[in-house]
């Protein structure tokens, strides 16, 4: 028979409940902070307009990053005509192809955007999956070039 852990104290339980309610994924922190600030500001204030603009810019940047990485995945499969796109973009695989991953992510950092951005970091599992299914790094790098060279290296706020 398993015993449930006993509550430590009503105050501790209340604080833990509040923390769980306020928990936000790392990639959503900036958006959450801006949303909460926006909710607390008066409707027609200049500060509200500035926060709305920052929030819209943050969402636009996230969409640009996601779109770029998605296009890289699609372009990677144009050469092989493989039907792995859904698998690569829907579930995380264990990374064992470290050389491929390192080579491609460094190339993306040079050609596309700073990979230390928290949202970019959160999307790099797709690149890991591309390496994991056996695509050669030069194929993925060619896809990176095809997607990122027309756009130039994008810079995003942190």
> Is a pLDDT exceeding 70 seen at residue 148?
yes
Structural domain count, the chain: 1
Residue 18 lies in a domain: no
Domain of 34, CATH number, reads: 1.10.132.130
- Residues 6 or more apart whose CB falls under 8 angstroms from that of 148 comprise 68, 72, 108, 111, 112, 154
Residue 37 confidence (pLDDT): 86
Of the listed ranges 9-13, 57-61, 88-92, 94-98, the least confidently predicted one is: 9-13
What is the domain extent for residue 121? 29-151
Residue 52 lies in a domain: yes
| Residue 108, domain member (yes or no) | yes
Please state the pTM of the whole predicted model: 0.76
157, part of any domain:
no
Task: Decide if 105 is inside a domain.
Answer: yes
CB 87 within 8 A of CB 129: yes
Residue 77 lies in a domain: yes
Does 49 fall in a domain?
A: yes
Task: Give yes or no for a contact between 143 and 75, defined as CB atoms under 8 angstroms apart.
Answer: yes
Q: Is the dihedral of CA 143, 148, 153, 155 positive or negative?
A: negative
Percent of the chain with pLDDT over 70: 87
Residue 103 has pLDDT above 70, yes or no: yes
Taking only the tens place, the pLDDT of each residue in 20-30 is 666 777 777 88
In the predicted model, is pLDDT for residue 75 greater than 60? yes
Tell me the per-residue pLDDT of 33-68, one tens digit each, with 9 for 90 and over: 888 888 888 888 899 899 899 999 989 999 999 999
Q: Does 16 reside within a domain? A: no
Question: Which residues, other chains included, contact 79 with Cβ-Cβ below 8 Å and sequence gap of 6+?
Answer: 139, 142
């Amino acid at each position: 028979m398993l015993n449930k852990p006993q509550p430590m104290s009503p105050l501790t339980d209340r604080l833990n409940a509040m923390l769980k309610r306020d928990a936000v994924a790392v990639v959503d922190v900036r958006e959450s902070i801006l949303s909460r600030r926006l909710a607390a500001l008066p409707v027609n204030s200049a500060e509200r307009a500035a926060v709305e603009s920052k929030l819209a810019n943050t969402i636009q940047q996230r969409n640009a990053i996601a779109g770029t990485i998605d296009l890289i995945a699609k372009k990677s499969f144009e050469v092989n005509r493989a039907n792995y796109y859904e698998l690569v973009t829907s579930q995380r695989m264990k990374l064992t192809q470290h050389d491929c991953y390192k080579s491609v992510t460094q190339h993306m950092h040079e050609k596309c955007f700073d990979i230390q951005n928290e949202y970019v970091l959160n999307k790099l599992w797709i690149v890991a999956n591309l390496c994991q299914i056996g695509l050669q790094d030069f194929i993925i790098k060619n896809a990176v070039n095809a997607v990122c060279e027309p756009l130039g290296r994008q810079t995003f706020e942190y």
